[in-house]
Amino acid sequence: MFDKQLIATPSESLAQVEPTPALTDADRALQLYELHEGYGQWKVIFPGTVVLSARVAEIYGLGPDSPVPLQDLVKLYVAEDRGKLLTLIAQALQDRRGFRCRLRIERRDGGVRMIESIADLRVRDGRVIELFGASRDVTAEMERELQVQGRLKLVQDLVGDMPAPIAVLDDKLRVLDCSLYWLKAHRFVERREVIGKTIGQLFPETPSEQIAEYEAALRGQTVKTRRSFASPTSGAATQFATVLTPWYVADRKVGGITVVVGWSEIATTKRAAPAPTPVEDFDGSLLDMLKNVS
């Protein structure tokens, strides 16, 4: 779990810059941040003693009573992440830089947790005397992110294989994904031709009434309309029932639009087309699974 969620990045050290004046008591501000964001403080006193706050000790499954040797703390990290942590510390000391990371620990109770840490150096007379920072448990947050990614992947797979022209747009009308039939309906061949591009870029001459329909969908309305496409069997321009449905992110804000064309013909089949379904009967029921991707 979390294999692709690991983060390890260097950052500028406060020891090398002049901090801006504090607006309020720095200790109280830090306590407020700890209370609401779940961070706890720690420091490494060289050559290798780690002092943990009660909150961080609890995160690591340790007692808060006494300092911990750095090597013992490193051993709590899963084997694949220990090298990353030691490399970050070594680079921080060498380059006089801070760092941020999300790495995994295995607690003594057997539970694997994802820990986010931010770190910096304290320098005195040109010599590093302390590595300090804050850490928090982001396991639940990362699990939610993985669930969202999993749902989005499922939706992408469903959209891509759906035997109808379907496109998923973001709130800037950029194409996030589309079905092969949507590509065919718009005379494209590959997804890479359209993914990441806006409707305006793909179709510069989009009629104003269609733009108004997109805007209405972005305001949270489900728009039932008709769009004209060349019939795959006859080649003649044909009106197809089309539904634009908003989809939402976690805070109920519109994240974008799903566009579904009620295609009444199969593009690869040469046969007479049935009569188009009346727009009032096209309820967009296959969109139910796509409405609340969050």
- Asked if 132 and 183 sit in the same domain, the reply is no
| pLDDT (tens digit per residue) in 222-245 | 999 998 876 656 767 788 889 999
Q: Is residue 19's pLDDT more than 80?
A: no
pLDDT at 285: 40
Task: Please tell me the total count of domains within the chain.
Answer: 2
pLDDT at 128: 87
pTM: 0.50
* Side-chain-side CA neighbours of residue 282 (13 Å): 21
Residue 147 lies in a domain: no
Residue 1 lies in a domain: no
| pLDDT (tens digit per residue) in 98-115 | 999 999 999 877 788 899
* Side-chain-side CA neighbours of residue 199 (13 Å): 22
- CA 59/CA 37 separation, integer angstroms: 14
pLDDT at 198: 95
Residue 111 lies in a domain: yes
Q: Which of 90, 108, 137 is the last residue of a domain?
A: 137
| pLDDT (tens digit per residue) in 182-226 | 888 888 999 899 999 999 999 999 999 999 999 999 999 999 999
Residue 233 lies in a domain: yes
- Asked if 264 and 170 sit in the same domain, the reply is yes
Residue 144 lies in a domain: no
Written in H, E and C, the secondary structure of 50-107 is EEECHHHHHHHCCCCCCCEEHHHHHHCECHHHHHHHHHHHHHHHHHCCEEEEEEEEEC
CATH value at residue 167: 3.30.450.20
- Asked if 13 and 94 sit in the same domain, the reply is yes
Q: How confident is the model at residue 15 (pLDDT cuts 50, 70, 90)?
A: low
Asked if 92 and 66 count as a contact pair (C-beta separation under 8 A), the reply is: no
Residue 184 lies in a domain: yes
